[in-house]
Amino acid sequence: MTITIRNEELILAKERAIYLPKEQLLAISDLHLGKAAHFRKAGLQVPSTLAQNDLNRLSDLLNEYQPKTLLINGDMFHHEVNTDIDDFEHWKEQYPTLKFVLVKGNHDKLDQKQYQKLGIEIQDPSYCTENFCFIHDAVKCTEENLYPISGHIHPGISVYGKAKQSLKFPCFYFGNDYAVMPAFSAFTGLSLVKPKATEQVYAITPTKVIKV
């Protein structure tokens, strides 16, 4: 689905990403790499294939859009360095020319050197383009002239129908004051957003992105 905000085109992908053709930039948020492994270390059984599946989905996106920059809008790594992150390092070798940019989120607490070693450029607190300010938590944005695009809350939307029907999806939220991206990782819950009448929400189904 392609939408226009501030006269700039944004492509909303069902794989939970936004592509900015003008910037040749692919943005995702809340990747939470290493979350599954962190759970396993603490004795909770979460399959390793989960994280690999997230990376495969990211590969599909990179192949489709061929961006110059991959922007991760916060919470790239869940907690600490573990096997999931070793897997990421290995996966990343396939993309030697791609620029990795991380906007720091509340979970991103690794040592500066570790980001360097992984070849990830850090932006704190935000990464700005001509029209947008990518920031993990929208309320912290100080760029008054730009439209903030945030992550952090893992937004979801409930839709209601006649006959007491309801459905719940992860979503993109484009509010009057700021936007929120869906969490990229499949191992995340949803926090429901309640849009005002003038705001746009795009639900993500397994097959496409739909305006609701």
Smallest CA-to-CA distance from 10 within 181, 139, 170 is with 181
Residue 187 is encoded by which pair of tokens? 């191992």
C-alpha–C-alpha distance, residues 196 and 192, integer Å: 13
Query: Three-class SS of residue 81?
Result: coil
Q: Is 189 in the site for other proteins (CB under 8 A)?
A: yes
Smallest CA-to-CA distance from 13 within 3, 23, 24 is with 3
Task: Name the segment binding other proteins (CB under 8 A); options: 18-26, 54-62, 124-132, 199-207.
Answer: 199-207
For the bound state, the minimum distance from the C-beta of residue 49 to other proteins, rounded and expressed in Å, comes to 5
Count of other CB atoms within 10 angstroms of residue 149: 30
Residue from 7, 112, 160, 176 touching other proteins (CB under 8 A): that is 160
Whether the CB-CB separation of 74 and 151 falls below 8 Å is answered with: yes
Q: Is 82 in the site for other proteins (CB under 8 A)?
A: yes
Residue from 4, 45, 97, 112 touching other proteins (CB under 8 A): that is 45
Task: Name the segment binding other proteins (CB under 8 A); options: 48-56, 95-103, 132-140, 145-153.
Answer: 48-56
How many angstroms separate the Cα of 54 from the Cα of each of 18, 51, 58? 16, 5, 6
Task: Name the segment binding other proteins (CB under 8 A); options: 9-17, 35-43, 65-73, 116-124.
Answer: 35-43
Q: Is 191 in the site for other proteins (CB under 8 A)?
A: no
User: How would you classify residue 7: left for phi > 0, otherwise alpha for psi between -120 and 50, otherwise beta?
Assistant: left
Q: Is 162 in the site for other proteins (CB under 8 A)?
A: yes
Q: Is 164 in the site for other proteins (CB under 8 A)?
A: yes
Q: Is 97 in the site for other proteins (CB under 8 A)?
A: no
Whether the CB-CB separation of 73 and 108 falls below 8 Å is answered with: no
For the bound state, the minimum distance from the C-beta of residue 52 to other proteins, rounded and expressed in Å, comes to 9
C-alpha–C-alpha distance, residues 181 and 5, integer Å: 14
Q: Is 176 in the site for other proteins (CB under 8 A)?
A: no
The residue among 113 and 196 lying less far from other proteins, judged by its C-beta, is 196
The residue among 25 and 201 lying less far from other proteins, judged by its C-beta, is 201
C-alpha–C-alpha distance, residues 57 and 5, integer Å: 26
| Residues that bind other proteins in the complex, under the rule CB under 8 A | 35, 37-50, 53, 78-79, 82-84, 157-167, 186-189, 194-197, 201, 203, 205-208, 210, 212
